[in-house]
Chains A and B, each alone.
Chain A
Amino acid sequence: MESDKLLILAVDDDATIRMLLEFLLKKRYRVVLREDGWDALAWMGEGNLPDLILADLEMPRVDGISLLEQVKASGAFSHIPVVILTGHESQELFQRCKSAGADDYLLKPFNPDVLYHRIDKALAAGVRVG
């Protein structure tokens, strides 16, 4: 059943990447798309708890790092695994994401099977609340 599928919140400011992520993810999960960290936090603040957040790094208003920091500083959302998806290969960025609490870090271009594997791995490792 559709409602049994886990819910992924995919956050990216690029409309085509959002479409791509929806195309890839909806085969296995329920997907909600938001275009930046601001919209993602607003949506979650209404009481919507995704099972995992997949976030780009470079976004307007609230970028991926800030989104990650807010999620991990929150008492309501810190249990949600966050996987960073970015086109920038940088050791410094990787370290920043890691120290901010990212559960995984994936570079574009990515193999869809690797994406599924990383998501499932982060979901399995995530702390469940309630």
Chain B
Amino acid sequence: MYALIQTEIDSAPATRRAARWVSAGPASCHLASGLGPDVEQACADTAFRAWRLIHASHVPPLAVFCDASLPDSDVWSLLARLRRESPFRQVPFVLVSEHVDKSLIIKALQLGADEVYDIDADPAAVRRRLAFLRSFKSEQESPVQEEETRRRPPVSSPRRLLDITLSSLGLLLSMPLLLPAALLLWIESGYPLERVQRVGMGYQVFDLYQLRSRRKERRDTGEYTRLGRWFSRMGITRWPQLLNVFLGDLTLSGYEPLPLQVAEQLTTDEWAGRFLTPAGLTGPWAGITSASARRRLEKDFSLSRKPWSGLKIVLTTLPLAFRDLVLPTED
């Protein structure tokens, strides 16, 4: 389409004698005259006269140039008239100024102009831009598609139903042990629950809940509290993650929910695909300590949309998942 329009402009004198630029004001006339002799040009000294030239012709001009230095009411009323009348609505409107600044650009574009050029603009660039704009405007019938704003891509209903049912059941059944454990940790260290940031489906960052098992002030060294070590061995510390499943941050089986600093290293298309499906409470990665081995497994791991396949993975890996959260080692 781009090439066709370019050809149309280049061959205008031979095929469409009425094809022309219309300019209002000396700066516009100067710029348009530099675009080459192959398209007729009509210069007017005021916006009103330019409008009469445009309106008198049956064929819309290839573009309209208008000086920004003309009185404001003239410039914007010419633009408004062009945008109101259907044969001229898609004609590119170019504002020409001796001094182009950001506020002029924004105002012109917001009012419906297509370009703002300095009087000394490169003619080849102007022609290239106008050829594109003619094609662009003729096809730009539908409004700009807004970027999807949903925070999470959809999860299939059966899977979500299964997640809600089993996580509710799990939370209920674990309460008799979870609550006393949290209470004991609170007595021992004053902070029973911790939240760590993880990246899930659609690169959404969420708080992953778990019982705090390590000393807060010595977290970097990973030193356990006395009770924390004991609860970790029992596998209780990760039970609060069932709440993440209930809330929809996790599904029962899926890719490993990664720390931010790991997720932001996976920057190729190949890895980005893993963030299209939900992160999981458990998955084939559970219980494997080597980070590269986890990633290798994930490469071969394609989550089925059938909830029962996910359930099979849950049943085979759940005991591993509920062991203490072993941080993978980079190798």
Contacts and interface: CB of A to CB of B under 8 A. Distances in A.
* A and B found bound together: yes
A88 to B, nearest CB: 11
Interface in A87-119: 87, 108-112
Contact of A23 (B106, B125, B128, B199): B199
Contacts of B263: 23
B190 interface: no
A73 B264 contact: no
A130 B97 CA distance: 13
Place the interface of chain B in its size category: 35 or more
Contact of A76 (B115, B128, B140, B148): B115
B109 A42 contact: no
Interface string B27-40: 00000000000000
Contact of B267 (A20, A42, A49, A74): A20
A76 B116 contact: yes
Contacts of A16: 203, 269, 272-273, 275-276
A76 B276 contact: no
Nearest to A17: B272
A85 to B, nearest CB: 9
Given A20-B203, A69-B128, A108-B267, A76 B272 contact: no
Contacts of A44: 109
Place the interface of chain A in its size category: 35 or more
Chain B contact residues: helix, strand, loop or mixed: helix
Contact of B136 (A20, A41, A43, A110): A41
Given A20-B272, A41-B136, A130-B103, A75 B117 contact: yes
Nearest to B142: A42
Contacts of B109: 44-47, 76
Interface in B253-276: 263-269, 271-273, 275-276
Given A19-B202, A47-B109, A73-B128, A112 B267 contact: yes
A23 B132 CA distance: 33
Interface in A1-53: 14-20, 22-24, 32-35, 38-39, 41-47, 49
Among B103, B136, B199, chain A packs the most CB atoms within 10 A around the CB of B136
Given A19-B202, A23-B203, A47-B110, A42 B268 contact: no
B118 interface: yes
A112 B264 contact: yes
B147 A33 contact: yes
Among B114, B118, B147, B264, chain A packs the most CB atoms within 10 A around the CB of B147
Contact of A17 (B105, B114, B117, B269): B269
Given A75-B121, A76-B109, A112 B265 contact: yes
Contact of A109 (B128, B148, B202, B268): B268
Contacts of A130: 101-105
Interface string A51-80: 000000000000000100110111110100
B275 A20 contact: yes
Given A42-B140, A49-B106, A74-B129, A87 B268 contact: yes
A70 B132 contact: yes
Contact of B203 (A19, A32, A41, A76): A19
B105 A129 contact: yes
Contact of A75 (B100, B107, B199): B100
Interface of A: 14-20, 22-24, 32-35, 38-39, 41-47, 49, 66, 69-70, 72-76, 78, 87, 108-112, 129-130
Interface of B: 2, 94, 100-110, 114-118, 121, 125-126, 128-129, 132, 136, 140, 144-145, 147-148, 199, 202-203, 205, 263-269, 271-273, 275-276
26 contacts: A16-B269, A16-B276, A17-B269, A20-B267, A23-B203, A24-B267, A32-B147, A34-B147, A41-B136, A42-B140, A45-B109, A46-B109, A46-B144, A47-B108, A47-B110, A66-B2, A66-B132, A69-B128, A73-B129, A75-B100, A75-B115, A75-B121, A75-B129, A76-B105, A129-B102, A130-B105
* CB-CB nearest 9 A-B residue pairs: A130-B102, A130-B101, A75-B117, A47-B109, A47-B110, A16-B272, A23-B203, A73-B125, A109-B268
